[in-house]
Structures are given as structure tokens and as C-alpha cells.
Amino acid sequence: MSMGVFIEPLFGREEPVGIAFVCYSRKDAQDVKNIIETNFISQGVPYFLDEKDIIGGEKSIEKIEKALEEASCSVIVLSPNSIKSEWVWFETGVLVGKGKHVIPFLIKVDNTGDFIKDLPDFIRRYKIVRDVDGLIEAVQRYVFEFGKLFDDMQLNKKVMATLKQAKVTITMNCPYDYINILKSGYLLVRFGREDVLERPANVMLLQEGKIINKAVFAKKTAYDEKEKIMKVEHLLPVHKELGVKYKLFVDVSDLSKIDDVISILKDNGFQNVSKSGSAEKQRIYFLIPSKGNNIVRSPDGLADNYLYPI
């Protein structure tokens, strides 16, 4: 049994994982176009706006329903006009009911205190955004996979601009039954190797390198029944100056199978296969062995994998 690892650098802007649904009053159409649409276009944020996305002759309700389903978040434009719009509150109610992330955005309001006080209780439970920069930062966290990695919004915005991507595809022999109990991912340890971070070009690079330790799950898993091979694709963020350190893992839903999964991983040639010592008792970490490939290394012995800047 043996595993295969294929790494493909992906260049350009990060691919979005969803869209932002813009919910507004038609009376605010020009303001929405000037304030929101212009900035979403410049930042590469995919969004749904009925005026833009529904053309003459199309079935409006069906198009809107599809967009509501696909949206990863919604921008609720709050204004003196929108709070009187039944359609705005209907769309908002649908989005909340579907569990979508809701971002209230305030425009054209002079006395914000009184205005917010009169909003429905369910909308006041969300943090209301009052400036475009804050709106873009909030939307990026939901529309882009890597926008969720940072708690510091300003740092999140800066670091996202420095990221490239790599698609890491792992294939390994595995019984078919196991595909239903395994969930693959990687722990993003941080950006940058120790030897790089000990002598950073500037303090900001040091900060960018050290703050991350987050689990990200695989983008796609498939199984070839004839060959008995499981194929897992990971989308990995790579800092263009620092690279990235990461550790692969699988979560095992059936705890009685953990020892069997460890044996499968070892038989496939993975190294440092070990159970998580933290709260995730079902998690098993493992590393890709270094075989001279100049893009995959474990510079700290068998602690983590490292992907060089691409």
C-alpha cells in the first residue's frame, strides 16, 4: 500500500466559496450601487443584486430563491427606506431562517441611536456595520474560505492580500467502508518556518507568521471502488513571503476504529501518525514524508509539513 501526494500551485485571487446576497429597498438603488457594488467589484467579492442579476423575461422569484439558497451571507441595507419595505424584511426573514450570516449595513441615517432602537429585535442582535471598510472585512470572512482565519479584522484584510493557494491532493489505499467515518483536514499551524521568523524582514511579518493555529477541512473527497483508493483535495493558503506550516489530520467518527485508521495511515507511508493530545479525541495527525521535493518539507524534524512560498 502506498500514498501519493500532488501539489499544484494556484495563482491569482482566492476562489470564493459563496456569494453575498444584497437585500435593500429599490428607493436606495443608486446609493447601493455607489457604496456597495463599486467596492464589491473592486475587491472581487461575488454578490447577488436583483437589478444586476435579473434581466427582462426571467422569472424573478425563482432567481431570487436560488440566490437566497446559494448565499453564504447577506448584506441587509438598513435605511429609512428599507425599514418600511415588507420585501426587505421578508428576504431577511428567509435568510435568518436558512441560517445564513446576516450583516446589517447602515446608510443614510442621521440619528443612529434612535434609528437602531426602533429596529426589530431580531436584527438588533447582529452587530451593525456603519462603514464600507467594515462591511468588506465582514463579507470576506464568509465569502472567502481563508477570510475566516484571523480574529483581528485589520490583520485579516492585510494578510489575505498576501496569500496565494496550493491544491494538495492526497491519494491512499483505504477500504470503502472507511470513507464514511473519516473527515479529512489540516491544522494550519502558522505562516513561516522558525528560522525565517527568528529573523523577519519586519515586525509585521513576525505577527503575520505566528498568530494562526486553525483547522480547515478538505474541499473534496472521492473514492475509486475499483482501485480501493481514496482521494482527498485540500486548498491550502500560502503566504507569498513566509510560506505555510501545516499538519494533516483525519477525524474518525467511530472511535472503535481509531487504531485501524492509524494502521491504514502508517501502511500508506505517512509519518508521525499520532492521536490528538487535545480535546479532539477522534483526531489523528500525520505528516507527508519528505522525499527531496523542493516544495514539501518538514524542517522541524517530524513536527509539521512546510510549503515554500509560491
**pLDDT digit of tens for each residue in the chain (310 aa)?**
457 888 888 766 677 778 899 999 999 999 998 888 888 888 888 898 887 877 777 777 888 888 888 888 999 999 999 999 999 998 998 888 888 899 999 998 888 888 888 888 888 888 999 999 889 888 988 888 777 777 776 787 778 778 888 889 999 999 999 988 999 999 999 998 887 888 888 888 888 888 788 888 898 899 998 889 999 999 899 998 899 999 999 999 998 999 999 999 999 988 889 998 776 779 999 988 765 444 455 445 557 888 888 7
In a domain, residue 148? The reply is no
Contact 103, 72 (CB under 8 A): no
pLDDT at 13: 64
Q: What is the pLDDT of residue 283?
A: 93
Strands 101-106 and 163-173 come out as unpaired
**Grid coordinates standing for 83?**
425599514
- Residue 84 burial by CB count (10 A; 0-12/13-18/19+): exposed, middle or buried? exposed
According to the model, what pLDDT value does residue 230 have?
94
- Give pLDDT, residue 278: 73
Interior angle at CA 60, CA 56 and CA 64, nearest 5: 135
pTM of the model: 0.68
Q: Which of 143, 177, 211 is the last residue of a domain?
A: 143
| CATH code for the domain in which residue 74 is found | 3.40.50.10140
pLDDT value for 2: 58
Helix axes 60-70, 86-97, angle to 10 degrees: 40
Residue 276, C-alpha cell as written in the block: 490528538
For residues 176 and 275, membership in a common domain is answered with yes
Q: Is residue 149 part of a domain?
A: no
Q: Is residue 93 part of a domain?
A: yes
Separation of alpha carbons 21 and 156, rounded Å = 22
Which three three-digit cell numbers place residue 193?
518556518
Residue 284 pairs in a beta bridge with 250, 275
Together in a domain, 9 and 113: no
Residue 87 cell numbers, joined: 420585501
Boundaries of domain holding 191: 4-13+157-307
* Positive or negative torsion for Cα 184, 302, 8, 149: positive
Q: The C-alpha cell of 247 is what? A: 499538519
Distance CA 120, CA 47 (A): 25
CA–CA dist 186, 166 (Å, integer) = 13
Q: What confidence score (pLDDT) does residue 301 get?
A: 52
Residue 227 CB neighbours (<10 A)? 10
- Tell me the backbone φ, ψ of residue 196, rounded to 5 degrees: -80, -45
268 and 298 in a common domain: yes
- Give the torsion sign (CA, 64, 65, 67, 72): positive
Contact 236, 184 (CB under 8 A): no
Q: Among the three residues 117, 143, 169, which one is the final residue of a domain in this structure?
A: 143
Contact between 193 and 172 under an 8 Å Cβ cutoff? The reply is: no
Which CA distances in Å does 105 have to 22, 77, 209, 241, 253? 10, 5, 32, 35, 40
- Answer yes or no: is 52 within a domain: yes
HSE at residue 211, side-chain half, CA atoms within 13 A, is 14
Please give the backbone phi and psi of residue 299, each rounded to the nearest 5 degrees, phi first. -65, -20
- Separation of alpha carbons 107 and 82, rounded Å: 10
Whether 190 and 246 share a structural domain: yes
Domains: count for the chain: 2
Nearest-angstrom CA–CA distance, 150 and 40: 20
pLDDT (0 to 100) of residue 251: 94
Instruction: Specify whether 98 is located in the same domain as 193.
Output: no
